[in-house]
Amino acid sequence: MFQSRVTISNEHGLHLRAAARLVVVTNRFKAKVSLSANGKTVDGKSLLGITSLLAKMGTVLTIEADGKGEADVVEAVVKLVQSGFDAEG
């Protein structure tokens, strides 16, 4: 299992478009991914789950992955969040 934390710096937080980009990234990997924020943990490959976190700017997001590519998927999610959910992130 691999884990990291990152603070959402995007002024709109983890909105629908950002969540969709996050799902695209996590689904590139075989590892199981979980995201936690605001006392809630969800499947990191579920758009509905991710949007239910209601993660605003300043929220600390915990990313956990288990399985093949776990470190890579966590790194990719951290990079995406740090980029402000840039499409190229």
Min mean pLDDT across 11-15, 20-24, 74-78 is at 11-15
| Cα–Cα dist 75/16, whole Å | 21
Flag whether pLDDT at 5 surpasses 80.
yes
Q: What is the DSSP letter of 14?
A: S
| Cα–Cα dist 9/45, whole Å | 21
For range 34-47, the mean pLDDT: 97
| Cα–Cα dist 89/85, whole Å | 6
2-82 classified as CATH 3.30.1340.10: yes
Flag whether pLDDT at 23 surpasses 70.
yes
What is the band of 87 on the pLDDT scale with cuts at 50, 70, 90? low
pTM over 0.85: yes
Residue 12 annotated as catalytic:
no
Q: Identify the burial level of 16 via C-beta atoms within 10 angstroms of its C-beta, where 0-12 means exposed, 13-18 middle and 19 or more buried.
A: exposed
The domain ranges of the chain are 2-82
For range 6-31, the mean pLDDT: 96
Which residue among the candidates 3, 4, 10, 15 is catalytic per the annotation? Answer: 15
